[in-house]
Each structure stands twice: as structure tokens, then as C-alpha cells.
Amino acid sequence: MIRPALALVLCVLPALAEAGSVVAARTLRAQTVITEADLAISEDDVPGALSDPMAAIGLETRTAIYPQQPISAGDLAPPALIERNQMVQLAYRDGSLSILTEGRALDRGAVGDTIRVMNVTSKATLYALLGADGVAYVQPH
């Protein structure tokens, strides 16, 4: 007779063995934001590949990923908030001093990335941290 605790373990183990790896359901070009329709589960358990599709949904591909290719965390990044050459608000704050001006993004970036931004008025190139509000914040030295 199988004890109830052992029966539970026997039921769970096959489910874990069937977990598999997350693979691309179609060709995903670089900078594609992943949706549920872009993913499939492979029966193979590939080392380094994601096992949970929810870990990929909403992220952006760094490079092209081809059908049935396993997807790893290194293949994905947060989606870009700012595109190269996009006009952005450029903000500088230090104590009670606050300057807000217009800038042009010289790089592409996501929230939390530091990118180069050109001040449109002075033509100076600065490094700025992208905030969730879409503003590029210049850090005081």
C-alpha cells in the first residue's frame, strides 16, 4: 500500500519532468517585445533555457531568435523606453537647483539605463539615467 505522502510525491515528479524549456514559436527579430503567442514549450530540458514562459512575456529580444530555439534570460532585456534620436526631457536636480530642458537621445534605452543625450540648446553631450516617467536625469557630480 502506498502512503498518501508518497503518492503525492509520485504525482508531482512526472509534472516536473514534463516542464521542458521555453522556445520561440516563430522567428523573433531583435527588439521584439515577447507575447504569449511568441512562445512554445519544448519537451527537452535545455540547460540555461527558461522553464517558465511568464519570465519572458513583456521583455524584449536582444538578438534574433529562430523557431524552436530555446530562450535564455540572457536573450532578453527590458523593453526600450527611448529610441535613438527621440526628443526627451532632460532634467538636472541638485538640492534646490532644478533645470529642465530638451534633449535628443543618442542611444536607445530602457528604464534604469544610462544613455547619452545631447542638450539641444548647448549641443553638449551628457550621460543621463532614464526614469520610468520617460525623463532623462543628469546625475550631479
**Per-residue pLDDT tens digits for 59-87:** 999 999 999 999 999 999 999 999 999 99
**CATH code at 20-77:** 3.90.1210.10
* Cell (9 digits) for 69: 530555439
CA separation for the pair 56, 42 (Å, rounded): 15
Q: Which three cell numbers stand for residue 18?
A: 514534463
Q: Which residues pair with 129 in a beta bridge?
A: 114, 137
SS3 content of the chain, % helix, strand, coil (to 5): 15, 35, 45
20-77 shares its CATH topology with 87-138: no
**How far is it, in rounded angstroms, from Cα 58 to Cα 91?**
28
Average pLDDT across the chain, whole number: 87
Give the domain ranges of the chain. 20-77, 87-138
pLDDT value of residue 124: 95
Identify the H or E element spanning 4.
helix 4-17
Residue 27 has pLDDT above 80, yes or no: yes
pLDDT of 9 higher than 50: no
Distance of alpha carbon 20 from alpha carbon 29, whole angstroms: 23
Fold of 87-138: SH3 type barrels. (2.30.30)
